[in-house]
């Protein structure tokens, strides 16, 4: 079950209704699946929806608009301005740091609404590279696939279950609730797999495995995470 057409057919079977039913028309089922698709793809920060974007700074300009296709509050931990990293901070901490340390060289940024703010304020025109999440492209044509089609088909099953839940909400509230909970469970299982796969990637600032030296010499000892990679951030 990979395409919009496949999901519509499965939804029709689950509704136990003919494709020509006046209660559940083809258009109504398609819209239910499209709504459920946006709901499912927005439930977690799916890796398939991560994107990088580049903009140019403006001299003495502190804040910039989000890329038009980025979802609000999805910027990554770092952005790069003029080739160097700026670490993301909470909005209030950003304001307080700027107020108390107007001459600081610590490179930070924060976002508020659909704008992001850079400090120290750029004084040259240079590229700004940032990363975030886009809204999933809507499925429109019968052969359109979702982000789950080449990842895990149970994501599409979750979309169908959510669509079914919405369509029968006024007819059978208990079954509707059960179907939505089932959809959430399926997506949670997929997300758990994603997180576990990402945990196998070794970070740059810590060992892959925490293996102590059980037989240190007289001048040796074990200290976990005793090396790191400097990103060049000024943490004054």
123 and 53 share one domain: yes
Residue 200 lies in a domain: no
pTM of the model: 0.74
82 and 188 share one domain: no
Nearest residue to 115 (alpha-carbon basis) of 130, 99, 104: 130
Cα separation, 217 vs 104, in Å, equals 44
Cα separation, 180 vs 15, in Å, equals 15
Cα separation, 161 vs 180, in Å, equals 6
35 and 145 share one domain: yes
Q: How many domains does the chain have?
A: 2
Domain that holds residue 163: 4-45+136-194
What pLDDT, on the 0 to 100 scale, is given for residue 107? 96
Tens-digit pLDDT profile for the chain (236 aa)? 889 999 999 999 888 764 556 678 889 999 999 999 999 999 998 989 999 999 999 999 999 999 999 999 999 999 999 999 999 999 999 999 999 999 999 999 999 989 999 999 999 999 999 999 999 999 999 999 999 998 888 999 999 999 999 999 888 899 999 999 999 999 999 999 988 877 655 455 555 445 555 455 555 444 545 444 555 565 55
What pLDDT, on the 0 to 100 scale, is given for residue 22? 67
Cα separation, 99 vs 105, in Å, equals 13
Residue 213 lies in a domain: no
Residue 225 lies in a domain: no
What pLDDT, on the 0 to 100 scale, is given for residue 227? 45
79 and 125 share one domain: yes
Domain boundary among 161, 176, 194: 194
Joined tokens for residue 100 = 């108390």
Residue 100 lies in a domain: yes
What pLDDT, on the 0 to 100 scale, is given for residue 207? 52
Residues in Cβ contact with 25 at an 8 Å cutoff, skipping those fewer than 6 apart: none
Residues in Cβ contact with 223 at an 8 Å cutoff, skipping those fewer than 6 apart: none
Cα separation, 19 vs 224, in Å, equals 62
| Long-range CB contacts (within 8 A, 24+) of 195-200 | 198/47
What sections of 3-144 are H helices per DSSP? 4-15, 26-41, 91-100
140 and 124 share one domain: no
DSSP 121-159: PP-S--EEEEEEEBPPPPP-STT-B-TTTTT-THHHHHH
Cα separation, 36 vs 166, in Å, equals 8
What pLDDT, on the 0 to 100 scale, is given for residue 232? 56
Q: Is 225 helix (H, G, I), strand (E, B) or coil?
A: coil
92 and 19 share one domain: no
57 and 161 share one domain: no
Domain boundary among 133, 153, 186: 133
């Amino acid at each position: 079950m990979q395409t919009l057409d496949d999901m519509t057919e499965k939804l029709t079977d689950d509704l136990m209704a003919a494709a020509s039913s006046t209660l559940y028309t083809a258009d109504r089922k398609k819209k239910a699946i499209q709504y459920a698709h946006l709901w499912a793809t927005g439930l977690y920060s799916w890796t398939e929806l991560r994107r990088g974007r580049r903009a140019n700074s403006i001299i003495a300009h502190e804040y910039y608009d989000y890329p038009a296709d980025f979802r609000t509050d999805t910027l990554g931990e770092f952005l790069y301005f003029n080739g160097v990293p700026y670490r993301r901070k909470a909005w209030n901490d950003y304001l307080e740091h700027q107020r108390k340390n107007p001459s600081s060289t610590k490179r930070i940024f924060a976002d508020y609404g659909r704008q992001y703010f850079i400090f120290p304020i750029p004084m040259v025109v240079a590229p700004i590279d940032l990363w975030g999440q886009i809204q999933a492209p809507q499925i429109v044509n019968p052969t359109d696939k979702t982000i789950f089609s080449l990842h895990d088909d149970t994501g599409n099953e979750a979309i169908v279950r959510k669509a079914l839940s919405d369509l029968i909400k006024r007819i059978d509230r208990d079954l509707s609730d059960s179907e939505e909970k089932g959809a959430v469970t399926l997506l949670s299982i997929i997300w758990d797999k994603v997180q576990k796969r990402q945990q196998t990637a070794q970070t740059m600032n810590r060992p892959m495995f925490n293996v102590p030296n059980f037989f240190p010499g007289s001048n040796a000892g074990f200290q976990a995470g005793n090396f790191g990679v400097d990103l060049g951030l000024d943490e004054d």
